[in-house]
Amino acid sequence: MIKNNLFLRALKGETVDRPPVWMMRQAGRYLPEFMQIKAKYDFFTRCRTPELASEITVQPIRRYGMDAAILFSDILVIPQAMNIDVEMKVGVGPWLPEPIRDPKDLDRVIVPDIDESLGYVMDAIKMTKEKLNDEIPLIGFAGSPWTILCYCVEGQGSKNFAMAKEFCFTQPDAAHQLLQKITDTTIAYLKEKVRAGVNAVQVFDSWGGMLSPVDYQEFSWKYIQQIVDALKDETHVIAFGKGCWFALDTMAKSGASALGIDWTCSARNARYLTGGNITLQGNFDPSRLLSPPAEIKKMVRQMIDEFGKDRYIVNLGHGILPNIPVENAGAFVEAVKEYPNTSG
């Protein structure tokens, strides 16, 4: 039985004294203790070594005491498992030396055996659960099929993922074939994570906002819906589409337990577009954590007032930035824990 179940209660829509708080990318790059590990081990070594991944996962919990932990990993372990090479290049970020560009490239893409290819993630979950000792829930995650496709086709990060869109619009059959393979792999992966012990899963559609509303339904949402359908009876599913406010009404009817909201959508609009009956998560602008701590606390309290304390999980509107001072991240978490105290 998890001692602090505030996060799980919020996902169920129960009445709470204050909303729970965690931060996307909370395990990582803004923490000095993480940087010490980073100096010794390359990125995917950190992901693939359960002792390192579990240690990185619990670092922010020790420092700040969030209401949920999220496993340290990366969305690109999925294509790696599918026989698509992914490297992490310094100064470049993700780098795929052999991107998927035409139908024959799909011949080498497999739907893998999860235990065989991603067993190290399950080991990290079990090790993390031991360290957390049922104090707080653990979240597992995956990228949306569309977001994974963007990297697989583009071969690296991009401002507009024009090549990925060209692939979808000029070779739609191949695109849908790849999206389905990613979806099947993701469902198997997340189900295995649930068996390993995670208490909720989040699907990150970081590049969903690159698509028009019509194309979003065609190339992204219908695959996320498959994932929600496959997981919703086994665990809580949080769907987060960055820049996808236009799909919030559809998302709200999906069976997901919660929806992530980015900072470009107001609390009022988010509640309106989702019908007011689903838990929302978000949506503090990560760059706003560069404001003075007192201002951060004031803005967080205002954000909670606007969303309402129930059916709400305090979070950022995207991942925390590497240059955020540790005391500013602390002010963000403290403001939630002090709520509704309005001093300061």
Q: How far apart are CA 210 and CA 164, in angstroms?
A: 10
List of residues 6+ apart from 339 with CB closer than 8 A:
18, 19, 300, 301, 304, 309
Q: In the chain, how long is the greatest CA-to-CA distance?
A: 62
Structure tokens at 297: 């606390």
User: Taking the CA atoms of the chain, what radius of gyration do you get in angstroms?
Assistant: 19
Residue type, 22: W
Find all residues with CB under 8 Å of 137, minimum gap 6, and list them: 2, 5, 7, 8, 67, 68, 69, 199, 200
Q: By C-alpha distance, which of 139, 126, 119 is closest to 51?
A: 126
Ramachandran bin of 154, using left for φ above 0, alpha for ψ from -120 to 50, beta for the remaining angles: alpha
| CA–CA dist 317, 125 (Å, integer) | 25
27 annotated to a ligand binding site? yes
Q: Which two tokens stand for residue 28?
A: 């990582």
Q: What angle do CA 322, 329, 236 make, to 5 degrees?
A: 90
Q: Binding site annotation covers 236? A: no
Distance separating alpha carbons of residues 180 and 46, to the nearest angstrom: 29
| 74 marked ligand binding residue | yes
Helix (H, G, I), strand (E, B) or coil at 139: strand
Separation between Cα atoms, residue 325 and residue 306, nearest integer Å: 26
The reply to whether 151 sits in an annotated binding site is: yes
Q: How many CB atoms lie within 10 A of CB 8?
A: 19
25 is in an annotated binding site: yes
- C-alpha 49/C-alpha 31 separation (Å) is 19
206 annotated as belonging to a binding site for a ligand: yes
33: Cα separation from own chain's centroid: 22
Neighbouring C-beta atoms of residue 123, cutoff 10 Å: 17
Annotated binding residue at 62? no
Residue 121 in contact with residue 77, Cβ under 8 Å?
yes
Q: List the binding residues.
A: 25-29, 44, 74, 151, 206, 318
Q: List the binding residues for substrate.
A: 25-29, 44, 74, 151, 206, 318
